[in-house]
Amino acid sequence: MEFVFFVEVLAGGLLAGVMYALVALGFVLIYKASGVFNFAQGAMVFFAALTFVSLTEAGWNFWLALVVTLAAMVLLGIATERVVLRPLVNQAPITLFMATIGLTFVLEGLSQMIWGSQPHGLELGVPDVPMEWLSQRWNVNISQFDLFAALVAGVLVAVLALFFQKTRIGRALRAVADDHQAALAVGIPLQHIWAIVWAVAGFVALVAGLMWGVRNGVQYALTFVALKALPVLILGGFESILGAIVGGLIIGATEKLAEVYLGPFVGGGIESWFAYVVALVFLLFRPEGLFGEKIIDRV
């Protein structure tokens, strides 16, 4: 029984980690291409999910609402590049980071101004309840929706990997990520690339928003999921898509096991900060994260 329970906690943690990884992917994409830590990723998740759910509640067809929301996210990405990033080209990374903090508040306010601040329910047709056969046979509760989310994350990573490896734009993105100046020198339009990567991050935000929206409802608190992605990024590395997934799995499993097995000895409620403890320990030994690029500066 104890072992079954352990397996259940571990499986639940790994699947929760997949959900964190979905958010972390958005951060990775932008950091990889532009070196900007996009603080607004959580707000983008909120904006995407709220737009989608508001459209469906207004009677729009599911797929139409999805396409229109995706278009909105692409437009948002392009607008961000034009209005926020382009004027700040060649500025220090901290300046760009501060700009994304500003963008966070603008997006949060804009979302609530357009769609209101009321929470919404969201269903995607996959119930968030345990699979009966697994429950009855092994007494292990694994949610159908968690598995669905894991599948979605897997497909997303595969699509992104193909996009980066096999398409022209993807190769250009990698070139920009490697060296802005060199990419410019060979004629890669930096601004277009940034707009594309922000649009792709918007798409990832939409997927993450839908998954988290089913789990918690679509409401302002979706912006907080970004906090769950930070330790994942520290651990997995800011530039690695694979790192986001592996980091998510490690963080998810560790925090759940810690909450269940260590929490009761210290009053409980430790999972939110324990994830950061794990990430900080990793920082001590591998500052670039598990899959991050080692940066060597000449001095």
Partner 1 sequence: MKRKSLLVAVAALAAGAYAGAVAAQAKEQFVPANFYWVGPYAPGGSGASGGMIDYFKLLNARDGGINGVKLTWEKCETEYRNDRGVECYERSKKKGPTGATLIHPFSTGITYSLIEKGTADKIPIVSVGYGRTDASDGRVFPYVFPLITNYWSQNTAKIKFIGMKEGGMDKLKGKKIVNIYHDSAYGKETIPVLDVQAKKFGFQVTHIAVPHPGNEQQAQWLQVRQIKPDWVILRGWGVMNPTALKAAAKVGFPSTKILGVWWSGAEEDVIPAGDAAKGYIAAGFNLPGTKQPVMQEILKYVYAKGQGELEDKSRIGSIYHTRGVVLGILTVEAVRKAQERYGKGNSMTGEQVRWGLENLNLDAKRLKELGASDLMQPLKVSCLDHEGGGAVKFLQWDGKAWKVITDWIPSDQSIVRPMIEASAAQYAKEKGITPRDCSKEK
* Binding stretches for partner 1 (CB under 8 A): 5, 8-9, 12-13, 16, 108-109, 112, 116-123, 127-130, 135, 141, 143, 212, 215-222, 224-225, 228, 255-256, 259-260, 263-264, 267-273
Q: In angstroms, rounded to a whole number, what is the distance separating the alpha carbons of residues 212 and 279?
A: 22
Residue 289, SS3 per DSSP? coil
Q: Which is nearer to partner 1, 152 or 197 (CB)?
A: 152
Cβ of residue 140: shortest distance to partner 1, in angstroms?
11
Cβ of residue 225: shortest distance to partner 1, in angstroms?
7
Q: In angstroms, rounded to a whole number, what is the distance separating the alpha carbons of residues 178 and 243?
A: 17
Q: Which is nearer to partner 1, 177 or 260 (CB)?
A: 260
Q: What's the burial of 213, exposed, middle or buried (CB within 10 Å: 0-12/13-18/19+)? A: buried
Q: Which is nearer to partner 1, 68 or 219 (CB)?
A: 219
Q: Where are the beta strands (DSSP E) in 52-207?
A: none
Q: Which is nearer to partner 1, 239 or 271 (CB)?
A: 271
Cβ of residue 138: shortest distance to partner 1, in angstroms?
14
Cβ of residue 155: shortest distance to partner 1, in angstroms?
23
DSSP states along 260-277: HHTGGGTTS--HHHHHHH
Q: Which of 18, 14, 28 is nearest to 233 (CA)?
A: 28
Backbone φ, ψ for residue 131 (5° rounding)? -75, 125
Cβ of residue 287: shortest distance to partner 1, in angstroms?
27
Q: Where are the beta strands (DSSP E) in the chain?
A: none
The answer to whether 288 touches 294, Cβ cutoff 8 Å, is yes
Cβ of residue 6: shortest distance to partner 1, in angstroms?
10
Q: Give 143's strand partners.
A: 130
Cβ of residue 171: shortest distance to partner 1, in angstroms?
37
Q: What's the burial of 118, exposed, middle or buried (CB within 10 Å: 0-12/13-18/19+)? A: exposed
Could you identify the residue written with the tokens 């520290």?
Answer: 234
Q: Which is nearer to partner 1, 161 or 221 (CB)?
A: 221
Q: Which is nearer to partner 1, 32 or 228 (CB)?
A: 228
Q: Which is nearer to partner 1, 91 or 118 (CB)?
A: 118
